[in-house]
Structures are given as C-alpha cells and as structure tokens.
A and B are shown apart, each in its own frame.
Chain A
Amino acid sequence: MRHAARSDPANRGARSDPAGDGTEPGRGARPGRGTGFRVAYGAAGLGGFLIVLEAAVRSGLVDARFLPPASEILRALAAELATAELWAALAETLWGWALGLAIAFCAAVAAGMLIGVVPGLRAATHSTIEFLRPIPSVALIPLATLLFGASLGSTLLLVVYASFWQVLIQVLYGVADVDAVAHDTARSYGLSAWSRIRHLVWPTALPYVMTGLRLAAAVAFILAITAELVIGSPGLGRSIQAAQSGGAVTTMYALVVLAGLVGVAVNAGVRAVERRVLAWHPSIRGEAPV
C-alpha cells in the first residue's frame, strides 16, 4: 500500500498495462496469458502484417518499385546478412550507440546525483536545464559536421546530447523522491552523507534511473542511425543511404527492417537489465508469499 504512494514513479504506471509488452514479470503464471501465449500472438500478428503487405504489392495496390513484396525484402535481408560489410556497419552503429549511451548515462547520473544532493544546486541549475533540454539533438548536426566531419565523433555528439537529458531528468525526479521517514531513519541511525547516498538515495532513484536508461537507449539508437544517414558517419544508417542512392530499394528496405529488429533487441536488453536490478520494486516483483 505504501509503495503505491511512495516509490512508484508515475512514468512507470504504463507498465501495468497487461498487454503493453510481453516482458512484464509476475504475470506469466496466470493461466491463459502466459509468456508463450503472448509470443505466439505477437508472432501471429507480425505474420499477418507481412501477408497483408505481400498481398498489397502482389495485387498491384502498391507500386512494387517503391515497396517490394515482403518476401523479397526478407530474402534481401538474408543476402545482406551474409556479407562482411553489413556486419561491419552494424558493429559501427552499435559501438556508437553503446559508447554514446554509456558516456551520457555516467555523466547524467553523476550530474543528477550531485544536483539532487547538494542543497541549492537544483534551483541554480533548473533554468539552464530547462533551456538546454528541449534543443533537438538533430539541430546539432551542422555543429557535429563542423567539429568531427563524417566520423564516430559526430555520432557520439548527437547520441550523448540526446540521451543525457533523458537520464538526467529521471535521476533528478528519483533523487527528489526519497521518503521522509526513510531519510529520518537513516539520519537517526547515524548514516553518513555518503552512506545515505549509497544506501538510500541511489536505490530510491534506481527505478527512475532505469526508466531514463530505457528511454535514452531508444533515443540513442535513433540518433546513431540519424547521424549516419545525414552526416554519413560509418554505420547502418550510411548503408541505408547508400542503398537508396544506388537504387537498391529492396536492400534499403532490408536494412530498415534490420534497424527495426536491432531497436527491438536494444529495448528488450534494457528491460532485462531493469528486471534484474529492480527485483525488489513493486513494478517488478510478484505478489509475495510467506
């Protein structure tokens, strides 16, 4: 009961949507709604979508020059997956994504904890944050080109800028959510400032941090692809651009599909981390026995 009022960040509310995603734990055991069922439904949905797509093209409803049939896209994807270039491009993209995300995450957590814990700093930085945060990362493309040209540096600049704010804002919410009674408890048992950060502030903020990480991971992936597409830094985005300008429409679609699949994998990966780290949290834990 207390958790509803206390440590359930509002932005986690969406997770209680039972059909929202197939990963919510503690519900898998419910008869008729098991993980297996949801995976099956998901696969059936995707299959149906592909069939509709295929039919639309084959029946001439859509021009095959602009949208090849799904079967051909999948065949092109298989062919691409057999080339070393594709794997190199994929590795570039993932490297830019992971490195940028890691830099942004560490910087934002450090900055957020500092701003949240040091009295007065929150008020002092508020206006600056509110000014910088809404600047769209893509508006920095000219700057990135100027500074780094078509290289990893450009990707990193965009990725870091976009994901930094996602994490920072969540950390700030999280740090502000420390329970008053828990705080009094920590003080009355003589916990030092550092211990309070480590054993109280950080765990309280962790659900928010994880939400921030999940949002940032998605945004970082978008920005990594964007940088490669627009600036031409090496990676999957540049390959898509190259396929398009070379008239290889089917290959272009295959790469887009691949980008989508990687995005799904990224999201699933972060959720898995989240579930491990937040096993104690009301949004993750099942109803407890004993």
Chain B
Amino acid sequence: MRKVYEDRGVEALREVTFEVDAGELVCVVGPSGCGKTTLLRCVAGLLPPTAGSVRVGGVPVTGPPPRMAVVFQEYGRSLFPWMTVRQNVELPLKEKKVPAGRRNELVAGALAAVGLADVADAHPWQLSGGMQQRVAIARAVAYEPQVLLMDEPFAAVDAQTRADLEDLILALWRDLGVTTLFVTHDIDEAVYLGQRVIVLSGSPTVVMEDLKIDLPPERDQLTTRSLPRFADLRGRLYAQIQRARGDR
C-alpha cells in the first residue's frame, strides 16, 4: 500500500507490502517520521490508503475492523480523563454489549494482568505515565482482540518499567495468541519481542528488510539479550537502519 497526505502533499509511505500470520508477533522499526504511525492507522482502518489495500483475515479494511485493538503512542490522550481506570477499560466492552458479569471478569482480569487492580477507581491523571500506558494496554487486553496494534507504546517510560512492560506484552501475547503488530524505533526492543522484524526505510518509505528472529521462543531480559545470536540480529538491523537514515 501507499499513503500520501493530500492536504500537505506529504508522501508518508511509498510502497509498503508485508503479511502477518495469525498469532504472530511482528515488530516494525524505522527512523522517526518514516510513516510508522501512518502505517498503523491505515491498518487500523482509521485512514484510507492512497493506493493498495489492507486486509485483515482476508477482508479488505474500510473502517476500524471489529476485534482489533490499538494502543496509541500518545496513551495519555487516548484515555478519557473524565472516567476512572475501570470505566476506561470497561467502555469498549459495554459498547460490544458484553453482559455485566463477564464484563466485570474481563476488566478485573485485564487490570490484574497489568498489575493495576488496586487503582481501578483512580482517574488516569492520578497515575504515572507508565501506569497510564498499562491502563491503555489493559483496555486492549480486556477487549479480547484478535489483532493488537501498538504504536511505540514504551517510548515515554523509564527503562525498568519498559522492561517489565515488554515482558508483560510477551506474556499476554503467549497467553492470548493474539496477532500483534508492534511499532517501535528501538532495535533491541524489536529483536527482543518479535518473531519477525520489518525494517522501514526513511522517506520515500519502503520495506527494507523482513527479518525472521530465530531466537528461542522463551525470552528473558537477561539471558535472551546476552545471547550471541541476539547481538548478531541486532547488529544486522542496526546496519540496515543506518543505511535507511543515510538514504534520506
């Protein structure tokens, strides 16, 4: 697919084609401004592509597909400040007409999974950035999506929280078997999380590399990151990204 923002004549994506298998966790990396957010918004059905198409489960995307959840980069703005944490997580379920009993279960389960069960009645603005991001993740998890899109979700949290959240995502992905597209600008993070990493070039944006991450499926912050293979893959992607920058 291709995307041009007509109003400003910005070509955000030149020619980006890839597939994600059901149940796969794929990371997308690329220099900032290369169109990662644009790509995600197209996949989410929030933005029509200029040319080409997006298909989810074989069905062309014309609007936001059902059973798809998005965790936005600007998590603070994506939570409603007039609602409590619980209400924020619950709202999409109410909209889906999930019966009250099941709804409570899902909300409680999702909040427990991200470790926020005890702040369910707080408002988002009473929480730290990392906690807000976890609320956004809990909302996505409670929604029971088949497809999960995440846009640089950990860009604004500290290193320790970030490591915890990465492991949380891995655990959720493993438990729920949800197809995940994870956008990041951090190569280490992409290698650590992904089964595959797709590297986007700088503008004009195309897919530069589609790399299978053949690390053992059980990942651990310490051991995985110190594997020689991890360093290999990381080095390879790093060189690619450098080239992507250089091309611009």
Count CB-based A-B contacts (< 8 Å).
78
Q: For window 175-205 of chain B, which residues contact chain A by CB distance below 8 Å?
A: none
| Known A187-B64, A189-B143: A290·B127 in contact at CB below 8 Å | yes
Instruction: Indicate if the CB atoms of A185 and B78 lie closer than 8 Å.
Output: yes
| Known A2-B76, A184-B70, A190-B95: A280·B82 in contact at CB below 8 Å | yes
Instruction: Indicate if the CB atoms of A190 and B92 lie closer than 8 Å.
Output: yes
* Partner-binding segment picked from B3-11, B118-126, B226-234: B118-126
Instruction: Indicate if the CB atoms of B74 and A188 lie closer than 8 Å.
Output: no
| Contact mask for chain A residues 254-290; partner B; CB cutoff 8 A; 1 contact, 0 none | 0000000000000000000000000011100100111
B80: contacting residue among A190, A200, A290, CB under 8 A: A200
Q: For window 195-220 of chain A, which residues contact chain B by CB distance below 8 Å?
A: 195, 199-200, 203, 206
A181 to B40, CA, bound (A): 13
Instruction: Indicate if the CB atoms of A189 and B81 lie closer than 8 Å.
Output: no
A7 to B77, CA, bound (A): 10
Number of interface residues of B (CB under 8 A): 31
| Known A188-B44, A188-B70, A189-B143: A182·B125 in contact at CB below 8 Å | no
Contacts of A285 in B (CB 8 A): 123, 125
| Known A188-B70, A280-B123: A182·B80 in contact at CB below 8 Å | yes
Instruction: Indicate if the CB atoms of A191 and B76 lie closer than 8 Å.
Output: no
Instruction: Indicate if the CB atoms of B126 and A288 lie closer than 8 Å.
Output: yes
Closest chain-A Cβ to B116's Cβ sits at a distance in Å of 11
Q: For window 78-96 of chain B, which residues contact chain A by CB distance below 8 Å?
A: 78, 80-83, 91-92, 95-96
CB of A59 within 8 Å of the partner chain: no
Closest chain-A Cβ to B96's Cβ sits at a distance in Å of 7
Closest chain-A Cβ to B132's Cβ sits at a distance in Å of 10
Contacts of B41 in A (CB 8 A): 184
Closest chain-B Cβ to A181's Cβ sits at a distance in Å of 4
A192 to B139, CA, bound (A): 18
| Known A185-B70, A187-B46, A188-B70: A199·B91 in contact at CB below 8 Å | yes
Instruction: Indicate if the CB atoms of B46 and A189 lie closer than 8 Å.
Output: no
A199: contacting residue among B44, B76, B80, CB under 8 A: B80
Closest chain-A Cβ to B129's Cβ sits at a distance in Å of 9
CB of B114 within 8 Å of the partner chain: no
Contacts of A188 in B (CB 8 A): 44-46, 64, 68-70
CB of A12 within 8 Å of the partner chain: no
CB of B72 within 8 Å of the partner chain: yes
A185 to B126, CA, bound (A): 20
Instruction: Indicate if the CB atoms of B46 and A184 lie closer than 8 Å.
Output: yes
A81 to B127, CA, bound (A): 52
CB of B66 within 8 Å of the partner chain: yes
Contacts of A179 in B (CB 8 A): 77
A191 to B66, CA, bound (A): 11
CB of A75 within 8 Å of the partner chain: no
CB of A6 within 8 Å of the partner chain: yes
Binding site for B on A (CB under 8 A): 1-3, 6-7, 179-182, 184-185, 187-192, 195, 199-200, 203, 206, 280-282, 285, 288-290
Binding site for A on B (CB under 8 A): 41, 44-46, 63-64, 66, 68-70, 72, 74, 76-78, 80-83, 91-92, 95-96, 119, 122-123, 125-127, 139, 143
Nearest first, the 4 A-B pairs at minimum CB distance are A288-B126, A189-B92, A181-B77, A185-B78
Q: What 13 additional pairs, Cβ within 8 angstroms, besides A184-B44, A199-B91, A285-B125?
A: A2-B74, A2-B77, A179-B77, A184-B41, A188-B45, A188-B69, A189-B64, A190-B64, A190-B95, A191-B95, A195-B95, A288-B123, A288-B126
20 A-B pairs in the complex with CB atoms less than 8 angstroms apart: A1-B76, A181-B74, A182-B78, A184-B70, A184-B78, A187-B46, A188-B45, A188-B68, A189-B64, A190-B66, A190-B96, A191-B91, A191-B92, A195-B95, A200-B80, A280-B81, A281-B81, A288-B126, A290-B122, A290-B126
